[in-house]
Amino acid sequence: MIELALVALGLAAGGALQSATGFGFALIASPVLVGAYGGEQGISTLTLLSILLNLMTLATERRRPAGDWRRGGRLIAWYVPGSFLGALLLEVASATVLKLVIAFGVTVAIITRLAPGIATLHLRAAPAGLLGGVFGTSTGVSGPPFIVHLLGAGLPPARMRDTLAGIFLATAAIALGTLAAVGVFSLPAELLWLALAMATGQVAGRRVFARLSPAGYERVVLATMFAAVLSTLILLVA
């Protein structure tokens, strides 16, 4: 019971973070779910909850979604071949090396957004989508290339948040189909409680997002990206 409560708390925190920023659910939920249920059930649950979370963002907030669907579609289109490249890359490069590459790239992106006098890093849709697919398949971390691209495009917070929700909804659906096709899709008996915890966090995160100014939103996004880098490095050292 205590373990379930801790897992639910982690999912609520992840749901709130993604609801407030557009991403970050997997950053918290992945280690929590895999630690509690193992790889197969943990990843299956993460994928299904990701679909539900992003559907909540797009369909349950009593508003018309404002995503840049054309831009998001280009990212998803390039994500698909990138995911196959990531699977091949995993055969020749360790996940540790790939995560270090991600950490370095995200750090550079953060510095260029924050440091005055340095040209901001821009990443076009094609390389952003490809890198998202490569990193998503090989390390489970697909978000940073998408976020760098969307920040560089100058999307307002609401548009960026909905665009990310659409992207993550599509990529999670692709992942769900893949898991089912290869016969490794499995869910825990406590799924309903886990979904309720995630949904509670999503609703709470809406209020945080509503109070953020555009500048405040970008600072929160960059802080979350930095936290992702830091957690990656800690896990690699541990």
Domain boundaries defined on the chain: 2-237
With CA atoms as reference, report the closest residue to 43 among 170, 145, 178.
178
With CA atoms as reference, report the closest residue to 133 among 173, 186, 85.
85
d(CA 42, CA 191): 11
d(CA 87, CA 119): 33
Q: Are residues 20 and 209 in contact, defined by beta-carbon separation less than 8 angstroms?
A: yes
pLDDT value at residue 126: 93
Q: Which residue has the tokens 């407030």?
A: 20
Q: Which residue has the tokens 């821009």?
A: 122
pLDDT value at residue 86: 77
Which ranges of the chain does DSSP label H, i.e. alpha helix? 2-21, 25-59, 69-92, 95-114, 125-139, 143-153, 157-181, 191-211, 214-237
Task: Report CA dihedral (89, 83, 175, 232) to the nearest 10 degrees.
Answer: 60
Per-residue pLDDT of the chain (238 residues; tens, 9 = 90+): 668 888 999 999 999 999 998 988 887 888 888 888 887 888 889 989 999 999 999 999 989 999 999 999 999 999 989 888 877 776 676 666 766 766 766 676 666 666 555 445 578 899 999 988 887 776 666 788 898 888 888 889 999 999 999 999 998 888 888 888 878 888 999 999 999 999 999 999 999 999 999 888 888 888 887 777 776 666 666 5
DSSP state of 118: S
pLDDT value at residue 139: 65
pLDDT value at residue 235: 62
Q: Is 0.85 surpassed by the pTM of this model? A: no
pLDDT value at residue 60: 93
d(CA 63, CA 3): 36
Longest dimension (CA), the chain: 54
DSSP state of 60: S
